[in-house]
Structure 1
C-alpha cells in the first residue's frame, strides 16, 4: 500500500471511530416522548380585547408520571398571588375560578417547557404571568431538574458535595459580579446598594453550566426582567458532585 492510500485509510478509520463514539453517546440518552397541552379560555360569550383569559401551556411526558405530577403541582403553586389565595385542586379548576372572578383585561398565563436534556437529566422551566390590573403584571419562574434514572427531582443539596453549600454561593456571588459588569451596574453604588446579591431557589443543572434565575424585584428592578447568572462547570469542580459535572 502506498503512502497516500495509507493516509486515506487512517483518515477513514479515524472518522469511523468518531462516528461510533457519537452514536454511543446518542444511544446513552433515552429519547423523550412528550406532548404539549395548550388551552386558552375566556368567559363564555365574551368578545373583544378586554375579555379575561387563562392560557395554560404545559407538557405531558409519556414515560415520566412522577415528573408530570411535579409539573402540575408546581404550576398550581404558581397561581398563588396573595395570602388569601388557596391552592387550586387542578389547573382546570383554576381556569374556571379565575374567569368567574376576573375583571375586564385580567389575564393569567402558565407554561412548562423542556429547556434542556442531557444524559438522564431533564430540565423543565416553569413560567407564569398574572395581570389583575395596575401598571403591569407579575411574572414568575422556576425549574425542575429531573433525574429519569432515579425518578425524582434533584434539589441543590442533591447536587452538592456535602459541606460545599457555602462554596457554591461564593461562586454564585462571583457570577453576580460578572452580571453587574456585563449590564453596566458594577460602578453604580446606588444600584448595588439597593439591589444586593441574594440566593435563589431557581436553579437549573444545564449541560455545561449551572443557571441561577431570579424573580423580578429580587436583585434588579422590574425593567431588568429575570436576571440569569451562569456558573461554568469548571468553576464548580470540588463543589458539585462529579457525576453532575
Structure 2
C-alpha cells in the first residue's frame, strides 16, 4: 500500500483534482448593487445565501477565498458628496461604514453554512471586526477561513475596486473576480445599444484606451502593474461564482496579452 493510498487517495486521483483548479487563492469583489438583488431592500438575503453556498462549495476543495464588498446598495460616497454640505471625504467614510454592514451580513450568512469567516476592516472597529493585518489575513486563508475585507482602503477618494486590487496584491491572490449585475464587459452599453457585443477577453491597455466601464483606472493600473488578471462576470446567474473561482470560462477575462 502506497503512502497516498494510506490516506484514502489514489495516485491517479490527485492529478485530476489539481488539474480542475486554475486558482489556489482568489479575491472575489462583490459590488454593493449586486447585494441588493432586485432592489426591494438594501441587502437581499437570497443573494448573500447564493454567494455563501457557492463560496462554501469551493472552499471545501481547498481553494482560499478572500472577499471585498462594496457599499453602494446602502450609501455611495462619490454620488452623495455635496448633499447638505457633506464634503467628499466625509461622504466616502460613510460609504466605508456601509461596506462594513454588508461584510457583517455576509459573514453571518457564511457561518450559518458552517464556513469559518473573518471580517477585517481598514480602520479599527474592534468590537465588530478585526483590523486589517496582512499576515493575519494570509494565515486565516491558509487555515481555510474566508476573509472579508471591509471599509475599502480606509482612505477617501479610493473605490472598493481599488481596494480589491490592493488586497489581492497584498495577500498574493492570483486573480480578482469581479461579480456584477452584467454578463461581462461589452463593446458598448447594452442598455443603450441592443447590438452591443460581449467581449471574451481584453487587455489592460484596451480597457484604459477605450475607457471601458469595468473598474476605475487606479484599480486597473494596479492590476496591470502586478500582472493580476481580472474576471468580470454576472453574479445573478446561478453557479457563476463557483465557475469563476474554479477558473472555468465565464464573463470577460482582462489580462496581459501573453497571459
TM-score tier after normalising by the smaller chain length: under 0.3
Give the structure with higher Rg (CA).
1
TM-score under structure 2 normalisation? Answer: 0.24
TM-score (norm 1): 0.25
Larger RCO, structures 1/2 (Cα 8 Å, 6+ apart): 2
Higher strand fraction (1 or 2): 1
